[in-house]
Every structure is written in structure tokens, then in C-alpha cells.
Amino acid sequence: MRAYRFLTEDDTAAFCHKVTEALSKGWELYGPPVYAFDAARGVMRCGQAVVKEVEAVYSPDLKLGSL
């Protein structure tokens, strides 16, 4: 099965660390990163889709972060 996650975080080093951690666990980048302004908080937010081939059967209860 191909698993999909969308990682988000404020535009800080924390976002880079979140993506780097996913890559170190075998996830691959899927498309370019995206940025948006969170007007309620006054900060830029980042997002990055990642995918990974796993030996699992899909279930809505599947914890994608643990793959």
C-alpha cells in the first residue's frame, strides 16, 4: 500500500526537522512544499506531502506517523 501524509508546521526549523525525520524513516517527498499565512496567529505555515510504500492494509484507524 502507498501511504500518504501531509506534514504542517510554522515556518521555523521545526518544520525542516519534521520533514527530515519523515525522510529518515523512509518517507519520500511528494510534490513541492506549500506556504500560507495564518492570519489568526500572524505566522507563515509550511506544508509538505510525503508518501511511503508499506506492507499494511488500509484502515481509517491506521496511525500513519508510526509507519
pLDDT number for residue 65? 86
Please compute, for residue 41, the number of CA atoms within 13 A of its CA located in the half-sphere on the CB side.
9
Angstrom distance (rounded) from CA 39 to CA 60: 31
Answer yes or no: is pLDDT of 2 > 90. Answer: yes
Q: What is the pTM of this model?
A: 0.89
Residue-wise pLDDT tens digits, 6-39: 999 999 999 999 999 999 999 999 999 999 999 9
